Amino acid sequence: MNNLCGVGMKAMVLERTADVGTAPLQLRELPIPEPGPGEVLVRLTVCGICRTDLHVIEGELPDPLLPLIPGHQAVGMVSQVGAGVSERTVGERVGVAWLQHTCGHCEFCTSGRENLCERARFTGYQVDGGYAEYALVPEAFAYPIPPVFSDAEAAPLLCAGIIGYRALRLSGIQPGQRLGLYGFGASAHIAIQIARHWGCQIYVSSLKSEHRRLAHELGAKWVGGAADLPPDKLHSSIIFAPAGELVPSALRALERGGTLALAGIHMTPIPSLNYDREVFGERVIRSVTANTRQDGLDLLREAAAIPIKPRTLSFPLADANRALQELKAGRYSGAGVLVLS
């Protein structure tokens, strides 16, 4: 929470990493930040609740900025612009997502792979995020929000949607093919809508019965438990659950030449693999690392054209700890959203 001036914003602040069951976020009154050169100040209305927030708050991602305002799926109106800003305007509705800075000069940034930049900084992890009434973001990383979406609908698109979209691309799935989804939280419930729009057949494995019900509602061809083997071989699969133990069975369910995309930013250890049974046949394991700005722009454009309809459950800002506890326990399906103002 650096370079703050003025008065008047409420925020949920993390002083030290801890289990969310201990309610580590504290409601604070903080000065409103002032935009620097190239930055915009956004008066936020909502912020999506993401499993990555859990990984940050509980210390599974190393060395977060502390004290920290978490959150990286925020939507609001630009209320002030810094010197040199030309692309964003006061009153424009924008979204603030996970990726907030890249160097722009390394081999990754100059080859369309800025998600791999070693100098990247991330919202709600290394810079303050969206569990607050205001947030700063460089204008180049503020996404215009299509008018077809309400603020609450747009929020989960900014991480759950973008990562699900990148995972679909990296899985290599093609129209008409069979796609497996392991875990059916916020990201998967958006990815299934895109994949069905592409004409894919969807096979869902999920631990929670309420998540399996939502998968049925959204048109999955087959829905089973977390350890159940799908009845048909799959051309591509995505693991959204942070559970490394799913990798061997997901590989066994793949067709020869299929790709398994691992969409989580954190995953428990992957067990040893049997080469003949789980890898041979040119099966591919591919991790998904953050996203590029182009992924975000492409996702928002396609989501608006379909249009995607995220299922959301709203919580007041002051209930952020409870919302995160319910996310961890899998007590709701779809995407949780904090209402900020």
pLDDT digits over 150-178, tens only?
Answer: 999 999 999 999 999 999 999 999 999 99
Whether 7 shows a pLDDT value over 70: the answer reads no
pLDDT digits over 242-269, tens only?
Answer: 999 999 999 999 999 999 999 999 999 9
Q: What is the DSSP letter of 306?
A: T
Mean pLDDT of the chain: 95
**How far apart (Å, rounded) are the C-alpha atoms in residues 298 and 29?**
36
User: pLDDT-derived band of residue 1, with 50, 70 and 90 as boundaries?
Assistant: very low
pTM of the model: 0.93
| CA distances (Å), origin 13, targets 71, 240, 325 | 10, 27, 16
Give the pLDDT confidence score for residue 220 in this predicted structure.
Answer: 98
Whether 2 shows a pLDDT value over 70: the answer reads no
Q: What is the CA radius of gyration of the chain?
A: 20
pLDDT digits over 74-119, tens only?
Answer: 999 999 999 999 999 999 999 999 999 999 999 999 999 999 999 9
Amino acid identity, residue 288?
A: V
> What is the DSSP secondary-structure string of 129-165?
-SSBSEEEEEGGGEEEPPTTS-HHHHHHIIIIIHHHH
pLDDT digits over 266-311, tens only?
Answer: 999 999 999 999 999 999 999 999 999 999 999 999 999 999 999 9
Amino acid identity, residue 183?
A: G
Give the pLDDT confidence score for residue 4 in this predicted structure.
Answer: 40
Cβ–Cβ < 8 Å for 300, 143: yes
**How far apart (Å, rounded) are the C-alpha atoms in residues 164 and 181?**
10
- Domains plus CATH for the chain? 9-145+311-339 (3.90.180.10), 161-287 (3.40.50.720)
